[in-house]
Amino acid sequence: MKYDYNRHLILGNTPLKECLQRLNELGLDAVLFVVDSDGKLLGSLTDGDVRRGLLNNFILEDIVENFVQPNPKSIQRLCYTLQDIIKLRESGFKVIPVIDNNDVVVNVINFRYIKSYLPVDAVIMAGGRGERLKPLTDLTPKPLLNVGDKPIIQHNLDRLISFGVDDFWISIRYLGNQIKDYIRDGSELGVRIKYVLEEEALGTIGSISLIKDFEHDYVLITNSDILTNLDYEKFFLDFIESDADFAVATIPYNVNVPYAILETNDNLIQSFREKPTYTYFANAGIYLIKKELCSKIPKDQFYHATDLLEYLLDNKYKVISFPLRGYWLDIGKHDDYIKAQADIEFITF
């Protein structure tokens, strides 16, 4: 659901009495951000500011500029870090204006409704044919197949939006116009969504080469047919703290061997393990990458994420794994789709 940040904005020449009514309507989110006619942030107003103004002999008929708290905490769009966001959140700030380079308010984030405010562009790869889900995908692209009461891609969008992602790209090909018609430009969700069209199939990551105007320094890439409750803040924070170039979300995969496994050297048994379990880590189809490394993806060529992974490893870039401990399901086959329908009733997103 779109959060209407305009509820928090009010012009500086508004009478205080009207501001009190607006504060009352906001309830738990009772803070107003006072702006001029161009939307430029002038200050903030809370119940406490009103009381202090009245004690200083201002009256209800005075304009709100007389009561305003100047220089409120704010976030400058494209010029903040995740550490800045965590610090504000942990300091008790719940409702914070986002301003552009001209101090114009372009958003208001509310930590009662979102978990974080990640400084990333998100790319959702939604161009595949969904061959293994035929005939369900004969007339409907796989991302638009419903899981529960909404399409798979909507689950992905909603999860990312809940972590404050508001700059999206969706890569489309097969029946892509249906996806565009359903999602549109994102304004109904309070985000910005652009599309990149694959004229020919470009693999699992090749279409990234067609995007030249990412907003942020980091890009999150995810397949559109995944159902997950991954904590994207922890994923991004681990990426930053590791000073990584590329991160792969991974799924622990256990292999139980029903026999005793012997360790040998020249036919001499050194040791053995009785019915051991080996843990491997599988690619979850979710990645983080520094924006500048997207240029390493060859333009207009079929290119998989594993091709990029191999290139980065060969050239000594820092590539890390982030084990995903929550829920994850790749909806690739009919059995997966049936499981998703059952799981959606019990998984917390």
pLDDT in tens, 180-228: 999 999 999 999 999 999 999 999 999 999 998 999 999 999 999 999 9
CA 213 remoteness from chain centre: 18
The Cα–Cα gap between 318 and 245 comes to: 5
Show the low-confidence residues of the chain (pLDDT under 70): 1
Q: Which two tokens stand for residue 277?
A: 């379990």
Cβ-based neighbours of 54, under 8 Å, separated by 6 or more: none
What's the pLDDT at 231?
96
The Cα–Cα gap between 30 and 23 comes to: 5
CA distances (Å), origin 218, targets 222, 223, 235, 240: 13, 17, 12, 10
What's the pLDDT at 167?
96
Residue ranges of domains in the chain, CATH in brackets: 5-110 (3.10.580.10), 121-343 (3.90.550.10)
What's the pLDDT at 23?
94
What's the pLDDT at 269?
83
